[in-house]
Amino acid sequence: MNRPSRALDRQDTTSAIETIGLLEREIDSVVVGQPLLVRRLLTGLFAAIPYAYTRTETRAGCAHVLLEGVPGVAKTLTVTTIAAAISARFQRIQLTPDMLPADIVGTRIYDATTSTFRTEQGPVFTNILLADEINRATPKTQSALLEAMQERQVTLGETTMRLEDPFWVLATQNPIEQEGVYALPEAQLDRFSMMVRVSYPDAAGELQMLKSNTNRVELERRVATSEVAQIRELIRGTVYADDRIREYIVRLGRATRDPAEVGRPALRELITLGISPRSYQHIMALARVNAFIEGRVYVVPGDVKTILPDAARHRLVRSIRAQADEVSADAILDEILSVVPIP
């Protein structure tokens, strides 16, 4: 198990759990009727997703999240509210088919007065990047985010620039509209740790939304931007995960590739591609945060079962038969969860 740094040794675990709880309640006071969305985004914010390795440390960053839902269900509001609650630098990109990669990462511009090139940084150089309607951008433009999401850096010409920590990509897409959109390729989808489906609030939530004070604009900052990485490392270093939990994650992942191993050979005709080994790391990191938010410093199988649908539904490629029979990825994952033995 990783040990936290000296700074994190002084961090009180109970205080950190309470701080995240206060942050969650502060956001819930603005975003009405979407408690699950808020919980998942906070889970992604504090998850330690490995992205690079050195001789002395494993570098980790926030878990990027893809939000799928119809317009008007508070996807953008939730993201902007979180950014305000932690005083993070925030950039929003409205993606369209005519956008170019340079509109996201920046470009090099020739300066005639000095006869040199200067670098013009794009909106990706921020703490929180909201890529609104990401599936409206062409594959070429979508691919501009790959290096930033995976390596937390951007290369322009011969210059490679590190992105600030935290760096967090949140993207939205509308599942209904099919005209003028480009499906995200598997390589792009796999960079997102979770795909959260945002549904309508219930009747009580919608009524509360109408009663709420829509003029409220000030939020009390509960977590400073600089503290996000500290809490993230605290969670990674203190939340214990037994080897049986890791074996459980591996069994679940392998079952999506070969369902016959768990006694469900019929599912093989519904799956074209199972989840990747990289997703195991994401599931483990997200399960740790879920346990921490629930007030525990150890992971239980229930944390894995809670996180798996959001962490795997976009990575599971359904067969043509599954699409024709309207068998969803969630239904396949539920079947796998029901048959894989719990440690």
Sheet with 65-68, strands from edge to edge, namely 90-94, 128-132, 168-173, 65-68, 194-197
Range(s) of the domain holding residue 302 = 239-339
Q: Are residues 21 and 161 in the same domain?
A: yes
Q: Which amino acid is at 121?
A: Q
CATH code of residue 173 = 3.40.50.300
Residue 197 covered by a domain = yes
Q: How many structural domains compose the chain? A: 2
Q: Are residues 169 and 250 in the same domain?
A: no
Tens digit of pLDDT at every position of the chain (343 positions): 444 443 444 458 888 898 999 999 989 888 888 999 999 999 999 999 988 766 666 688 999 999 999 888 889 999 999 999 998 999 999 999 999 999 999 887 877 777 677 788 899 999 999 999 999 999 888 888 999 998 899 988 778 889 999 999 999 998 876 777 888 888 889 999 999 999 999 999 889 888 876 555 567 777 888 899 999 999 999 999 999 999 999 999 999 999 999 999 999 999 999 999 999 999 999 999 999 999 999 999 999 999 999 999 999 999 999 999 999 999 999 999 999 999 8
Residue 230 covered by a domain = no
Residue 229 covered by a domain = no
Residue 92 covered by a domain = yes
Return d(Cα 64, Cα 152) in angstroms, integer.
11
What residues pair up with 162 in beta bridges, in sequence order? 153
Tokens of 163: 């992105």
Residue 222 covered by a domain = no
CATH code of residue 328 = 1.10.8.80
Question: Burial code of 30-51, b = ≥16 C-beta within 10 A, e = fewer?
Answer: bbbbbeebbbbbbbbbbbbbeb
Beta strands in 78-186, from DSSP E residues, in sequence order: 90-94, 106-111, 116-121, 128-132, 153-156, 159-162, 168-173
- H-run or E-run covering 85: helix 75-85
How far is the first Cα of the chain from the last one, in angstroms, to the nearest whole number? 20
Q: Are residues 76 and 122 in the same domain?
A: yes
